[in-house]
Chain A
Amino acid sequence: MIYIRAFIVGGILCALAQVVLDSTKVNPAVIMVSAACTGAILSGLGLYGTLVSYAGAGAAVPLFGFGHTLVQGMMEDVAKEGWFGLFTGGFRASSAALTGAVVFGYLMAVLFNPKG
């Protein structure tokens, strides 16, 4: 069942990040950066694509999936138009998430105030 797989895979990825955070005492921002980069590397090795087909949102929603999205985009564009695809694929593939982040981020900042 895809829902259970999404829950378990997504949960494991988050739990792994938490264990790394607790054992290295680095700050949370570093873990978030590392997660996205790890996703990119796993994607390059062809592993993350498999995980996404297995767990769906369980692999696509965690930040690891962001790195994967970028690599996929770059590889696709490289296949279409050669090395210059490295410069176009990343933003093309992640445009929806990034635009969403900018637009919704700004909107929420206008609408709401921090509660502390």
Chain B
Amino acid sequence: MKFSRQGNSTVVFPVMPVVRSSACVVGPREGKGPLREGFDLIHEDTLAGRTSWEKAESLMLRQSLDIALAKAGLDETQIDFLLAGDLLNQIISANFMAREFDVPFIGLYGACSTMAEGLIIASMLVAGGFARNAALAVSSHHDTAERQYRYPTEFAYMRTPTSQWTVTAACSTVIGVTGDGPWIEGVTAGRVQDNGVTDANDMGSAMAPAFADTVWRHLQDMSRKPEDYDLILSGDLGKIGSLLARELLRKKGVDIEDRHRDAGLLIYEDRPEIGAGGSGCACSAAVFSAMVVPSMRRGELKRVLFVATGALHSPITCQQGESIPSIAHAVSLVWRSEEVKP
């Protein structure tokens, strides 16, 4: 058997799977942010007309998948796998969304890295010939996450400057064999890293080592330099995590400074309540859908390394004083043209 692997831990696709479509449904705050033009549906209210935030999150997830399928011109009979995940216990938003679709379902949990985790699995399913099309949907919601991970939303406390604001959004994408692109040329799954950060309000610091590790291994495996990418997009490192990640990579002799942007810093205007930046599954996913895919289709970005980062903690383990394990998965996307060969 011939394996499609390169280096120690990177998978490269001889036949590249395609991003057929992507869609993003967001809440009001995101809808007023810098990427508002790129969203497909903006809700004026965080409840999205439902009776609870959990119901709203699940609804948004479903809407984003409906839009993504419509954009790709597909119906659910043409989708062989549905992959989805979110931040809530038992990934309920994803499970409740999945009962609306008559498609084999695989639930994912990778905290805020779920988008990249899903892209890795979906692209392997398609490239391996196991699926004609695989749909991926991820979501996060500020209010559902806040009440699960921190305090009730009306609790009067001051957010620390290192804390991040969970993005209220749901994003879906369809991966297939043919379509508009961009193409997925290779993926590097992350290893869980733990540098002993215990502050649940400082997830940027917790996740930076995972990001640095995955990016470094990806570049090693592909024998590339950061300059080979037009953009290295981290998921939700925020201000502090971005600084730390660049510093950690610099120590390994890799300078990503001019290529690196963070999705958590692209999605909102810089405001005090946002803290160090946006976070959540939908943070990287929203930037993927509203910025990365359209820019690549316009030919502005030729090759992008999409690295979503996740803090794999729970409120219980944090209260027990456990440190926060974290992970980062990398997906390398290309826009096929004369300059970039498949």
Direct contact of A and B (CB under 8 A): yes
The interface of chain A, by Cβ under 8 A from chain B, is 25, 28, 114-116
Residues of B at under 8 Å CB distance from A?
Answer: 46, 53, 142-143, 146, 152-154, 157-158, 160, 199
Contact B157 A114 (CB under 8 A): no
Summed over the interface, the residue pairs from A and B with CB atoms below 8 Å come to a total of 16
Give every chain A residue within 8 A of B199 (Cβ-Cβ): 25
Contact in complex: A116, B157 (CB < 8 Å):
no
B142 neighbours in A (Cβ, 8 Å): 116
**What is the CB-to-nearest-CB distance from B88 to chain A, in angstroms, rounded to a whole number?**
16
List 16 contacting pairs A-B, 8 Å CB cutoff, sorted by A: A25-B160, A25-B199, A28-B157, A28-B158, A114-B143, A114-B152, A114-B153, A114-B154, A115-B153, A115-B154, A116-B46, A116-B53, A116-B142, A116-B143, A116-B146, A116-B153
A116 to B155, CA, bound (A): 10
- A17 CB, nearest partner CB in chain B, Å: 11
Q: Which A-B residue pairs are the 3 nearest by beta carbons?
A: A116-B143, A28-B157, A116-B153
- Interface residues of B: mostly helix, strand, loop or mixed? loop
CB neighbours of A114 from chain B (8 A): 143, 152-154
- Chain A CB within 10 Å — which of B146, B152, B154 has the most? B154
A116 to B152, CA, bound (A): 9
Closest chain A residue to B51, Cβ basis: A113
A33: min CB distance to chain B, Å: 14
- A58 CB, min distance to chain B CBs, angstroms: 20
The closest CB in chain A to the CB of B28 belongs to: A116
Please indicate the chain A residues that have their CB under 8 angstroms from the CB of B160 in the complex: 25
A40 to B206, CA, bound (A): 39
Most buried by B among A25, A28, A114, A115: A114
Across the interface, name the chain B residue whose C-beta is closest to A31.
Answer: B157
CB-CB under 8 A from A116, the residues of chain B are: 46, 53, 142-143, 146, 153
How far does the Cβ of A47 sit from chain B's closest Cβ, in whole Å? Answer: 28
Q: How far is the CB of A39 from chain B (nearest CB, A)?
A: 20
How many whole Å from A114's CB to the nearest CB in chain B? 5
Residue of A nearest to B200 (CB): A27
CB distance from B151 to the nearest CB of A (A): 8
* Cα separation A25 to B158 with both chains bound (whole Å): 12
Shortest CB-to-CB span from B317 to chain A, Å, is 15
In the bound complex, residues from chain A placing their C-beta under 8 Å from that of B143 are 114, 116
CB distance from A41 to the nearest CB of B (A): 25
Tell me the minimal C-beta distance from A65 to chain B in angstroms: 18
**Chain A residues with Cβ under 8 A from B152's Cβ?**
114
A114 to B156, CA, bound (A): 12
A contact residues around B146 at 8 Å (CB): 116
CA distance A28 to B143 in the complex (A): 19
- Give the residue name and chain of the B residue nearest to A112 (CB): B154
Q: How far is the CB of B142 from chain A (nearest CB, A)?
A: 7
